[in-house]
Amino acid sequence: MELLWFIPTHGDGRYLGTAIGGRATEHGYLSQIAQAVDRLGYTGALLPTGRSCEDAWIVAATLASITQRMKFLVAIRPGLMSPGTAARMAATFDRMSKGRLLINVVTGGDPVELEGDGLHLSHDDRYELTDEFLTVWREISAGKESHLAGKYFQIKGGKLLFHPVQTPHPPLWFGGSSPIAQRIAAKHVDVYLTWGEPPAQVAEKIEAVRQLAEREGRTLRFGIRLHVIVRETESEAWDAANRLIRYVDEEAIATAQKAYARMDSEGQRRMTQLHNGSREALEISPNLWAGIGLVRGGAGTALVGDPETVAARMLEYVDLGIETFILSGYPHLEEAYRVAELLFPRLPLENLPVAEKQHVLSPFGEIVANDAFPKQQAREKEATTVD
């Protein structure tokens, strides 16, 4: 089981739908988040893509030099870049970061935004283009010479001179809920992602994609993209969830719903159906809350509760076949620490950092009355629980 975090290049803050408590996504702040991810033991972080975000490749490149362990899940965009260019970008980043690149394949689900970028294709046509794109990208990235006479690409002798560190190429991650998207995933990618739907719906998607992959003679891993609101008690967690949307008014919800309605993304449609723009009954499954999706596109659900409960809900997804969780919380800096503190000891995680033996004593917690070290019973109990 592995956990990734999120780099909020489209904005961050303490509340949704308002500038109150908001934070600018300048380099210093994003650097703080990345370095927290790096030292706390997350596998890496997802960087979002789209015109509402700072460019994911540029941001990742600036953060790679100030981190050591974390991996960067960065998008390639079929139709907005050529497969050869995308392969060169990926190979360079992978080499310069010493193998710390993960690739997020994003076909796109907002026709208005895509038309603004010059891509005028229907939903299924975009996925057909993605199929050709990934065929070429995988060949080139694996060191082969690519030739393709396709509907969208005419490739003659495509190749890389400088290859990535990871073989045969940096892993491909992909999220798409429509039938054609699932077929593309089964044919090409390494990790299939779903947004945080109720467990029964996630189980159906996993089974469908798994069967499609078997027909291709392949196996996939599965991941889920979720927000998390974890506090020491259940009541504190639900209070935090309600505070997060305290400034979300009906106008903001209506604006978001109008944007969702123009999208042809099946995943976004499924997210929207979980709440239908209504504040009523936002707990759509035990401890799974859809309040974030009222005004946020894409991942719109959060696991809410005390550490034991949230960990138990995550393990329910693990039982379905989910191995990777891409988590986030508002604000992302503080919540990265909170999740590591409250959830990491309760989950079967791999590759957590091991504290080096210190020659100079350093306190865990504030010294009591400038004289005594704080009690360590809680940490010792957590360590015993993990063992």
Which range is least confidently modeled, 97-101, 239-243, 363-367?
363-367
Strands 22-23 and 12-13, sheet pairing: antiparallel
Q: How many CA atoms lie within 13 A of 341 on its CB side?
A: 15
Under 8 Å CB-to-CB from 82, ≥6 apart: which residues?
153
pLDDT tens for each residue of 214-237? 999 999 999 999 999 999 999 999
pLDDT tens for each residue of 103-118? 999 999 899 999 999 9
Q: What is the DSSP letter of 163?
A: -
Average pLDDT, the chain: 92
Tell me the C-alpha distance between 380 and 290, whole Å: 35
Q: Is the pLDDT of residue 377 over 60?
A: no
Q: Domain residues of the chain, as ranges?
A: 2-356
Q: Which residue has the tokens 């509340």?
A: 15
Cα 264–chain centre separation: 21
What mean pLDDT comes out for the span 258-272? 85
pLDDT of residue 368: 79
Asked if 69 and 38 touch (Cβ cutoff 8 Å), the reply is yes
CATH code, residues 2-356:
3.20.20.30
pLDDT tens for each residue of 72-95? 999 999 999 999 999 999 999 999
